[in-house]
Chain A
Amino acid sequence: MRDIAVVSVAQHQEKALTHTTEVELMVPIINEARGAVGLTQDDIGFTCSGSSDFLAGQAFSFVHTLDAVGAIPPISESHVEMDGAWALYEAWVKLQIGGVDTALVYSYGKSSPGSLRDVLSTQLDPYYLGPLWPDAFSLAALQARIMLESGAVSEQRLAEIAVRSLNGAADNSLAVRSSADATVEGVLAEAPIADPLRPSDCAASADGGVAVVLAAGDRARELCERPAWIRGIDHRIDPHQPGVRDLTRAPSAQAVAVNSGAGNDRLDVAELAAPFTTQEHILELELGLGNGTAVNAKGGALAGHTMMAAGLMRIADAAAQIHDERADRVLGHAASGLYLQQNLVCVMEGE
């Protein structure tokens, strides 16, 4: 296996990018990520992106966004219709195969033109679930009630997770929802938005984008004072139908934690892409995160959830803490689908 590291990250997120196209959004982010390590597109061996044509409302919309990269002269490029964390996985595989030493990975999402909680119904199977248009909050509420009734979690614990995000996001300029003085009592007093879930249980939708530069071996050491070396990365998926799964668990999250070696040593930091407090609770258990790990200290995805980018943003957040020596061993997580159906974990270390 080659040693591969995240050497540079850049991101932007806000509540709604009403007058900004995806290309306009990504130009400065990609320039910042490449520029921070002194690279131009000519120096990039492989480029891979993650986004959703469906969300953009246009077939092959990701091809337009290549204008933000610069694809002349022709570049080696790929795209996944998934969160950018899976684009990072593809780039990692490409670097492992060899022949290239650097990769640019980026992803973005703009869900503000529609109602994301309804649009997400279209990711459901087209026979049993999709035609009923159950919205994302209502489906999450069914899971929440099972967790609460079975004792898998308490309302108090869910409110604590919400407050951790609200407080942690207070000095995070990329967060779209924060409150320095939020309290558990205050969250518990909120009227349900999808009974038993309260507004603070549901991630705040955001628009945004993120770019990451990967480099292998000595190239990474040349480019970055302290590369975030990827020591374990894996992704797994559970069955789709909610009825065939224990909704208090996420077996694929546990599997990726084991396969990526997350628990082999102390983790300083975990950045989780959970769209609901209930699912952040499940992830903490399945990933085996203990008291010594700072979880979503800047608010995580609850404080701003950019569809298609929330996972790569978490990997970028985790890697940045290696770069500036705030942490030595970190975990970035991405999720996709209904009830954390699919999970990816990337474990990174500094030297």
Chain B
Amino acid sequence: MAERLRADLVLEYPFTRTTGPVIGAFLTGLREGIILGIRRPDGTVLCPPTEYDPESSEPLTDLVEVGQSGELMSWTWVDPPRSQSPWDQPHGLGLIRLDGADTPMVHGLLVDGPEGLSVGMRVTARWRPEREGHIADLEGFVPEGAD
């Protein structure tokens, strides 16, 4: 019998993209351990920042640093953790509005169980020691005062 031919297939995206002046700045900020938002013409701050105003579509350029703590606006509990996510333990997922920002961001909540979560609670960022300019440079958020 003829030998079966075999070739490994690696799915890949063989292009490099620049992340641009807004998303790139945000990701660079994460590497440096700071969180950036962007100011809209009406003075409110979007975090994470977008390149364009969600209503008027005007370009946004006024990056501002926001706080590393904020308010939990919504949460759910993820158990089991999803296999491709950055988390290997059951964890919360939340909408977190950081101090100085007017909109919330989605990220993980690092507590022991769902009983540790409530809408309106204060949470603060926990950083990974090694950072590379990626949304997962933030390990997640913990209750304020836990770290």
Sample of 20 further A-B pairs with CB below 8 A, known A118-B82, A132-B136: A121-B82, A121-B84, A128-B23, A128-B48, A128-B135, A129-B106, A131-B136, A132-B108, A133-B82, A138-B82, A142-B75, A142-B106, A146-B73, A194-B77, A239-B54, A241-B54, A242-B95, A243-B46, A243-B105, A244-B46
Q: Which of B78, B114, B135 is A138 in contact with, Cβ under 8 Å?
A: B78
Are B19 and A135 interface neighbours, CB within 8 A?
no
Whether B103 sits at the interface, judged by CB under 8 Å, is yes
Q: How many A-B residue pairs have CB under 8 A?
A: 94
A133 to B104, CA, bound (A): 17
Are B86 and A132 interface neighbours, CB within 8 A?
yes
Are A241 and B82 interface neighbours, CB within 8 A?
no
Q: For residues 125 through 144 of chain A, which have their beta carbon under 8 Å from a beta carbon of chain B?
A: 127-129, 131-135, 138-139, 141-143
Closest A-B pairs by Cβ, 3 of them: A141-B76, A243-B103, A239-B54
Q: Which of A131, A149, A244 is B74 in contact with, Cβ under 8 Å?
A: A149
Whether B107 sits at the interface, judged by CB under 8 Å, is yes
A143 surroundings in chain B (CB, below 8 A): 74
Whether A249 sits at the interface, judged by CB under 8 Å, is no
B77 surroundings in chain A (CB, below 8 A): 194-195
1/0 per residue, CB under 8 A from A, across B103-131: the answer is 11111100000100001000000000000
A295 to B75, CA, bound (A): 30
* Also in contact, A133 and B47, with CB within 8 A (given A149-B119, A244-B103): no
B47 surroundings in chain A (CB, below 8 A): 243
Are A241 and B50 interface neighbours, CB within 8 A?
yes
A288 to B93, CA, bound (A): 32
Whether B16 sits at the interface, judged by CB under 8 Å, is no
A118 to B80, CA, bound (A): 12
Main secondary structure of the interface of B (DSSP, over half): mixed
- Chosen A-B contacts, 17 in total, with CB atoms closer than 8 Å, are A127-B23, A128-B23, A131-B135, A133-B82, A138-B93, A142-B76, A142-B94, A142-B106, A145-B75, A194-B76, A195-B76, A195-B114, A239-B54, A241-B50, A243-B47, A243-B103, A244-B54
Chain B: residues with Cβ within 8 Å of the partner, total of 34
Interface residues of A (CB under 8 A from B): 118, 121, 127-129, 131-135, 138-139, 141-143, 145-146, 149, 194-197, 239, 241-245
Distance of B20 from chain A, by nearest CB (Å)? 10
Are A118 and B136 interface neighbours, CB within 8 A?
no
Are B93 and A118 interface neighbours, CB within 8 A?
no
A132 to B92, CA, bound (A): 12
Q: For residues 28 through 57 of chain B, which have their beta carbon under 8 Å from a beta carbon of chain A?
A: 46-48, 50, 54
A143, A146, A241: residue with the most chain B Cβ atoms closer than 10 Å:
A241
Are A132 and B74 interface neighbours, CB within 8 A?
no
B93 surroundings in chain A (CB, below 8 A): 134, 138-139, 141-142
Which residue on B lies nearest to A126, using beta carbons?
B17
Q: Which of B50, B82, B119 is A135 in contact with, Cβ under 8 Å?
A: B82
A348 to B121, CA, bound (A): 48
A133 surroundings in chain B (CB, below 8 A): 82, 84-86
B66 surroundings in chain A (CB, below 8 A): none
Distance of B137 from chain A, by nearest CB (Å)? 10
A70 to B44, CA, bound (A): 55
